[in-house]
Amino acid sequence: MTTTYLDPFGDRPGLLIEGGRLHNSLPEGTPLHAAFAKHDAEAGPQSEKEAVAANDAAIAERLVIRIPASAALSKPIHILHREQGSANRQVRLIVEENATVDILEWFASDTPLVLNHVLRASLARGATVRYASLAAHPANSATTIHRLFELSQGSSLHLRTGEIGDADTHQSVEVGIDGSAASAHVETVALTNQRQEAILTSDITHRAPQSEGRIEHYGVANDESFLAFEGAGRIHRGMHGSVARQSNRGVVLGETSRLDANPLLYIDEHDVDASHGAAIGRIDEEQLYYLMSRGLTEHEAQRLIIEGFLAPLSVFLEDEGLSGLIRETLQTKTGR
């Protein structure tokens, strides 16, 4: 086991990462290799279970991040994943009791990539995690990114994920709330264009009473792309006083692009507060008119509305290193 100081942004404070690099390339004859070979043949991300199983079976690289009990880091941890070819990686995040941590994660690649990434995170009692994770892989990439969280009593998770690259992607967030008074807030933003396909799933299961789960999906689909949001809140019997909320908002920019949202609630308890909804459509004409009535050109008004719509990305825009890149990507992807 080697200890690595991860410092992806040069002069930024990094963190001690205990990790083991097992393989640099995908070993032949493993289930993962088979899965990706199948992917290459069929062109389309594999199912989530298959991907997670394959990842467990043949981890090419693993990072373990442990935040000790009661630790509070004053600055966010930056994690940069930059790789080539194909990668099979697992990140294990262990946040101990009452620890607080901010994580800013960025996926990138210079060349097309096949990626199977799994995050397994556990939050102990009273832990607080703010996790922002943005993927921007180039076209002709195929990625699966699965993020699994377990929450103990009184812990709190605020997760923001974003897909602003050109990869065909299948991503999921799965949160299991195992302790009472724990809360999970999951925000997902996706921006697709050209012939890109993205399927994004957020699933929160309440296995403890008085727990809170919030899912928010925001999407913009341009050109001929396809974007789908699948959201589920599950409250088991006896988990009284729990809250499950979900919202889906989307803008369809392209003439032939498609944006689907399937908000689901599975409730087996009557003493709960649950709601879900979806609002998908073209850019609001009244908003456009209002902005233009103040002198903004149609182009500029649309740009402002889309940027505003993607406000959950603002956590990344606060980072100087990323904000320029993101604004550029938004302009390229929306043509605005």
Partner 1 sequence: MATLEIRNLHARAGEHDILRGVDLKIEGGQSHAIMGPNGTGKSTLASVIMGHPRYEVTAGSVTLDGEDVLSMTTDERARAGLFLAMQSPAEVPGVTNSDFIKSAMNARLPEDENVSLFKFIRELDAAVDKLRMREDLPHRYLNDGFSGGEKKRNEILQMRLLKPSIAILDEIDSGLDVDALRVVGENVTEMKSSGFGLLLITHYQRILDYIDADTVHVMMQGRLVKTGDRELMKRIDADGYDWIKDELGIEDERVVPEGEDPASLGECAAKEAFEE
* Binding site residues, partner 1, CB under 8 A: 284-287, 289-298, 300-301, 304-305, 307-311
Q: Which is nearer to partner 1, 186 or 301 (CB)?
A: 301
Query: Whole-angstrom Cα distance, residue 51 to residue 244?
Result: 27
User: Residue 13 or residue 277: which is nearer to partner 1 going by CB?
Assistant: 277
User: What φ, ψ does residue 109 adopt, rounded to 5°?
Assistant: -160, 145
Min dist. Cβ of residue 283 to partner 1 (A): 11
Q: Are 94 and 88 in contact (CB under 8 A)?
A: no
Give me Rg for the CA atoms of the chain. 20
Task: Give the single-character DSSP code of 284.
Answer: P
Shorter beta-carbon distance to partner 1: residue 243 or 296? 296
Q: Name the β-bridge partners of 245.
A: 214, 275
Decide: 262 and 231 in contact? Cβ < 8 Å.
Answer: yes
Whether the Cβ atoms of residue 325 and residue 316 lie closer than 8 Å to each other: no
Q: Give min distance, CB of 243 to partner 1, in A.
A: 20
Mark 240-276 as b/e (b = at least 16 C-beta within 10 Å): eebbbbbbbbbbbbbeebebbbebebebebeebebeb
Which residue in the block uniquely carries the two structure tokens 């800013």? 104
Whole-angstrom Cα distance, residue 92 to residue 100? 16
The nearest distance, CB 157 to partner 1, in angstroms, is 23
Least distance to partner 1, CB of residue 293, Å: 5
For the CB of residue 292, give the shortest distance to partner 1 in the complex, in Å: 4
Q: How far is the CB of 233 from partner 1 (least distance, A)?
A: 23
Closer to partner 1 at the Cβ: 200 or 306? 306
Question: How far apart, in whole angstroms, are the C-alpha atoms of residue 157 and residue 149?
Answer: 9
Beta carbon of residue 160, minimum distance to partner 1 (angstroms, whole number): 14
Q: How far apart are CA 179 and CA 58, in angstroms?
A: 31
Whole-number Cα distances in Å, 41 to 33, 34, 44, 139, 198: 12, 11, 9, 17, 18
